[in-house]
Copies of this chain bind each other. A is one copy, B any other.
Amino acid sequence: MFDNKSQGRQPVSELGEFGLIKHLTKHFKIKQQTTAKGVGDDAAVLNQETGYQTLLTTDMLVEGVHFDLSYMPLKHLGYKAVIVNLSDVYAMNANAEQITVSIAISNRFPIEAVEELYAGIKTACEMYNVDLVGGDTTSSTSGLIISITAIGKAKAEDVVYRNGAKPNDLVVVSGDIGAAYLGLQVLEREKQVFLVNPKAQPDLEPYSYLVERQLKPEARKDVVELLKGLGVKPTSMIDISDGLSSEILHICDQSKVGCKIFEERIPLDPQFISTCEEFKLEATTIAMSGGEDYELLFTIPIEDHDKIKGNPHLTVIGHIADVSEGVNLITRANAQVPIIAKGWNNLSADEEE
């Protein structure tokens, strides 16, 4: 299939593995003082500073499961693949400094396509001040696979885990949620229209925010810095990759607490609300279960409320309760509904589609 589209282009197999890695990484600059040696040896070498711990996280994105190249531009894909990993480092209240990138691609993939992917990776590295220090490039018998590992650091006393939430702590979320999932629904709908009528010109303007949230999410490094500036250390934190329901359950489960989340407090974008109406989708359900927003969900002591009150990036959506009270959503009608995990589950994704 792809061959027809790439007539006259140079396939990656002509460069070979080492040639390709060299070619793709030659424009990446090392900026972090902790990077002693990047790409080019058996392993990268990182310097350590006294009093700091190292954070390490990894995520794999699979074509046909996590992304669809028919509407995901390769540059955006490269960018997003980095973001989802950095987000996990920020969710520990740490700073990300290095990544490694491994990709498996068909050897008939044109070099220009891999260059696009790496252009997105490079943009993310520059935006978030992260060094690319290693990786692996191999051939795939089918689709594109991207596996990224991110490394960060934080002083031991600053690291925030999922298990520190205490009764009466406030539950806070950054930005707004649900838009990334809805953006995916918009793109899926346009794809179906296109398959029926390839001449149809999609008008994505009314959904621009939603589509951008899906195709070019950001990691909330700014929120980690904001909290530091405000003198607030969360008692627990997680990033919203699988949906608010799933993430608040992780915090409550690991902290051995319950919570009350108030439906009316959940931050939603106006475009999200109007598009939910158009798609006849229940906004709260989507906001609770839709994933990939990469916002931060965290808890803070109630004494810190004044420090964050009124901040446009942060919304208090509820509070932690005793474990015996359970994990609940308080609806607009003041009904109490247990929160169950309905997050985006990759392992059953094929069957859901």
Contacts and interface: CB of A to CB of B under 8 A. Distances in A.
Interface in A64-104: 64-66, 88-89, 91-92, 94, 98, 100, 102-104
B139 A102 contact: no
Given A53-B45, A141-B64, A16 B348 contact: yes
Given A41-B92, A239-B42, A17 B56 contact: no
A120 interface: no
Interface in A235-270: 237-239, 254
A46 to B, nearest CB: 4
Contacts of A137: 346-347
Given A62-B104, A141-B65, A145-B145, A40 B254 contact: yes
A36 interface: yes
A305 interface: no
B17 A60 contact: no
A52 B98 CA distance: 17
A104 B145 contact: yes
A78 to B, nearest CB: 16
Interface stretch (A2-10, A24-32, A146-154, A195-203): A146-154
Interface stretch (A128-136, A165-173, A175-183, A221-229): A128-136
A188 to B, nearest CB: 17
Contact of A60 (B20, B145, B156, B349): B145
Given A17-B345, A36-B53, A43-B92, A139 B62 contact: yes
A86 to B, nearest CB: 10
Interface of A: 12-13, 15-17, 20, 36-37, 40-50, 52-60, 62-66, 88-89, 91-92, 94, 98, 100, 102-104, 107, 133-143, 145, 147, 149-152, 156, 159, 161-163, 237-239, 254, 345-351
30 contacts: A12-B347, A17-B345, A36-B156, A40-B162, A41-B254, A43-B55, A43-B56, A43-B92, A44-B56, A46-B53, A46-B55, A48-B52, A48-B53, A54-B54, A56-B134, A56-B151, A57-B134, A58-B134, A58-B147, A60-B104, A60-B136, A60-B147, A62-B141, A64-B141, A65-B138, A100-B149, A104-B145, A107-B350, A141-B143, A149-B149
